[in-house]
Amino acid sequence: MSKDNKPIYPNSNFKSFCYIKSVVTNPNIIYRPETQKDYYQSEHMTQKAFWNLYIPGCSEHYLVHKLRDHPDYIKELTLLAVDGEKVVGLI
């Protein structure tokens, strides 16, 4: 907060931050490397996260898909956050 009690980042969404923090600190979440069989789930999770967020529809999931085909893509740096069998995050 600033001196006049206004949020420092006026466009930030505190509820989203709290949700993200609770997901990150969830002890059931396992971080592991992404495999080819995870591609559909990670793209679907990305699509659900960005659908109608800034514009109608989204293309972020397609970007995730296309990045994997780029010659500079380093698959060892891609990690999934998995809760059981469900993909809940992608780094």
Q: What is the dihedral of CA 43, 62, 51, 81, to 10 degrees?
A: 30
Confidence of residue 28 (pLDDT cuts 50, 70, 90): confident
* Distance between CA atoms of residues 64 and 42, nearest Å: 8
pLDDT greater at residue 25 or residue 57? 57
* Distance between CA atoms of residues 69 and 49, nearest Å: 22
pLDDT digits (tens, 9 = 90+) for 42-79: 999 999 999 998 889 999 999 999 999 999 999 899 99
Q: Given a cut of 80, is residue 22 above it in pLDDT?
A: no
